[in-house]
């Protein structure tokens, strides 16, 4: 079996929603101290729905694929759902990651949570799970 699924390779080679979202109102940045990779998520939230999302990831292929898939999973979704997104859901949507690459999907979950935390700070609303 190949080390990486076709979905991982697809999202690594053609990542969705890459870049900076100029009118984002929720931004989260996280890093992994061990590998040094960094992930930044930009969300535009309106009416408690993620209307748009973009990401910048300075990291490995699995981190890029995970952030790309995570943006697809939360785009257009209500915050009640977005706040529940786990790295497990990201990994499953990618048809799996090798065990030693699971931490890359954790970055995606953490970056979204950090963005929601930022949104809470900016608005005073409580949206995190």
Residues that bind ligand FES in the complex, under the rule CB under 6 A = 32, 35, 37, 59-60, 62-63, 101, 104, 107
Q: Which residue is nearest to ligand FES (CB)?
A: 35
For 104, the enclosing helix (H) or strand (E) is: helix 102-123
Q: Looking at beta carbons only, is 62 or 71 nearer to ligand FES?
A: 62
Q: Min. distance of Cβ 55 from ligand FES in angstroms?
A: 13
Q: Min. distance of Cβ 21 from ligand FES in angstroms?
A: 21
Do 107 and 63 form a contact (C-beta atoms < 8 A)? yes
User: What's the sign of the alpha-carbon dihedral 70, 73, 79, 83?
Assistant: negative
Question: How far apart are the C-alpha atoms of 94 and 85, rounded to whole Å?
Answer: 14
Q: Which backbone phi and psi does 80 adopt, to 5 degrees?
A: -60, -35
Q: Looking at beta carbons only, is 35 or 129 nearer to ligand FES?
A: 35
Q: Looking at beta carbons only, is 15 or 59 nearer to ligand FES?
A: 59
Q: Min. distance of Cβ 59 from ligand FES in angstroms?
A: 5
Question: How far apart are the C-alpha atoms of 51 and 121, rounded to whole Å?
Answer: 19
For the question of residue 60 being annotated catalytic, the response is no
* Selected catalytic residue, list 13, 35, 36, 92: 35
Do 43 and 21 form a contact (C-beta atoms < 8 A)? yes
Tell me the catalytic residues.
Answer: 35, 104
């Amino acid at each position: 079996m190949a080390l990486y699924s076709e979905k991982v390779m697809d999202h690594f080679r053609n990542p969705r929603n890459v870049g900076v979202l100029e009118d984002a109102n929720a931004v989260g940045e996280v890093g992994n101290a061990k590998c040094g990779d960094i992930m930044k998520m930009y969300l535009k939230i309106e009416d408690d729905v993620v209307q748009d999302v973009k990401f910048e990831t300075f990291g490995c292929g699995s981190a890029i694929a995970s952030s790309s898939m995570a943006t697809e999973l939360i785009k257009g979704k209500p915050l009640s759902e977005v706040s529940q997104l786990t790295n497990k859901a990201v990994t499953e949507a990618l048809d799996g990651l090798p065990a030693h690459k699971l931490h890359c999907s954790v970055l995606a979950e953490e970056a979204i949570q950090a963005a929601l935390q930022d949104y809470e700070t900016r608005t005073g609303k409580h949206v995190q799970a």
